[in-house]
Amino acid sequence: MIRSMYSGISGLKNFQTKLDVIGNNISNVNTYGFKKGRTVFKDLISQTTSGASGGTATRGGVNAKQVGLGSQLASIDTIHSGGSLQSTGNTLDLAISGDGFFQLADGTGGSATNVPTGYSTSKLYSRAGNFYLDSLGALVNGEGKYLVSVSGTPLKIPTDAQSMSIGQDGTVNYVDAAGTLTSAGQIQLAKFPNNGGLTKSGSNYFEQSASSGAPVLNAPLAGGTGSINSGFLEMSNVDLSEEFTDMIVAQRGFQANTRIITTSDSILEELINLKR
């Protein structure tokens, strides 16, 4: 009887975690570049009350008798499938068609009047491609972190440029004040051996971990990083119909485990009431 109650408790904890993950997915359904999470369960150890035995010349074998002791959380996976692309018409909105990630970092060697000459060693990775030009013309994200380029210096567009464009290979071009087409550099993308091993650090950022492996750096269209689409943003890969279905399953699983506990409690009550 006690075993069934503790099995029910383990189920309650796991389904609560599943609901937490589903709630986070739904809350980020409109977050650019968001990758949904998924919970995976596994059973706990089973108590063996009678071991298995092999067959003999006169009698067949007997299977083991085991009682399971509940469930536990196996993993919370991050699903890195691609989200749909939303057209914005804004040149600085970028979406990756492939497995690559934008690299973002703080600058080093700069000042209030000069763009940094390099990047800090602490880089963050993201699929959210909503970028902007700061007061010096450098490409930054909403938090002011610089978009990493192949050259190792921030991409800069002169403030008096007439227009700019970004190609699928990540090349950033602009037309200067004299009407000359000039290249500002090329965006660099990162690709990991195991995307699922990346650590979410908030603000649409991923961080490298021991499980993800070291990033392989390439220009777009090289090394399987994918191409860059200017004027588009990658939407969240959360499917609301799937999330609501999983939420119903989790709710019923939670409800079923509470029923195990209440039923076990009722039987214990009957046992206590035997002596009257």
Q: What is the DSSP string of 68-127?
A: E--EEEEEEEE--PPPPEEE---TTBEEEESS-EEEEE-EES--SSS--SEE-S--EEES
Q: In this structure, is residue 178 part of a structural domain?
A: yes
User: What value does the mean pLDDT take over residues 242-260?
Assistant: 95
Q: In this structure, is residue 40 part of a structural domain?
A: no
What are φ and ψ of residue 117, in 5° steps?
Answer: -95, -5
**pLDDT score, position 1:** 62
**pLDDT score, position 151:** 92
Q: In this structure, is residue 162 part of a structural domain?
A: yes
Both 155 and 263 in a single domain?
no
pLDDT exceeds 70 at position 197: yes
Both 96 and 73 in a single domain?
no
User: Quick count: other Cβ atoms within 10 Å of Cβ 222?
Assistant: 14
Both 210 and 243 in a single domain?
no
Both 209 and 257 in a single domain?
no
pLDDT exceeds 80 at position 110: no
Q: In this structure, is residue 166 part of a structural domain?
A: yes
Both 139 and 247 in a single domain?
no
Q: In this structure, is residue 51 part of a structural domain?
A: no
- What residue numbers bound the domain in which 94 lies? 85-234
State how far the Cα of 179 lies from the Cα of 194, in Å rounded to an integer. 45
Tens of pLDDT, residue by residue over 41-61, are 999 988 888 889 898 888 899
Both 159 and 205 in a single domain?
yes
Q: In this structure, is residue 14 part of a structural domain?
A: yes
pTM comes to 0.89
Q: In this structure, is residue 63 part of a structural domain?
A: no
Both 24 and 92 in a single domain?
no
Please compute, for residue 54, the number of CA atoms within 13 A of its CA located in the half-sphere on the CB side.
Answer: 2
pLDDT exceeds 90 at position 3: no
**pLDDT score, position 276:** 66
Mean pLDDT, the chain, integer:
93
User: What value does the mean pLDDT take over residues 191-217?
Assistant: 95
Q: CB of 124 within 8 A of CB of 206? A: yes
Which of the two residues, 260 and 111, has the higher pLDDT score?
Answer: 260
pLDDT exceeds 90 at position 274: no
Spell 29-48 as b/e; 16+ CB within 10 A means b.
eeebbbbbbbbebeeeeeee
**pLDDT score, position 24:** 97
**pLDDT score, position 112:** 80
Both 113 and 143 in a single domain?
yes
Both 215 and 245 in a single domain?
no
The total number of structural domains in the chain stands at: 2
- With a pLDDT cut of 70, the percent of the chain lying above it is 99
Tell me the β-bridge partners of 86: 233
pLDDT exceeds 90 at position 139: yes
Spell 233-269 as b/e; 16+ CB within 10 A means b.
bbbbbbeeeebeebbeebeebbeebeebbeebeeeee
User: What value does the mean pLDDT take over residues 227-254?
Assistant: 96
Q: In this structure, is residue 58 part of a structural domain?
A: no
pLDDT exceeds 80 at position 266: yes
pLDDT exceeds 80 at position 227: yes
Angle (CA) 93-99-104 rounded to 5° is 50
**pLDDT score, position 131:** 97
Q: Tell me the one-letter amino acid at 167.
A: G
Both 119 and 175 in a single domain?
yes
Cβ neighbours of residue 58 under 8 Å, at least 6 residues apart?
none
Q: CB of 223 within 8 A of CB of 98? A: no
DSSP state of 187: B
pLDDT exceeds 70 at position 219: yes
State how far the Cα of 13 lies from the Cα of 130, in Å rounded to an integer. 38
Both 28 and 98 in a single domain?
no
Both 72 and 191 in a single domain?
no
Tens of pLDDT, residue by residue over 142-184, are 999 999 999 999 999 998 999 999 999 999 999 998 999 999 9
**pLDDT score, position 40:** 96
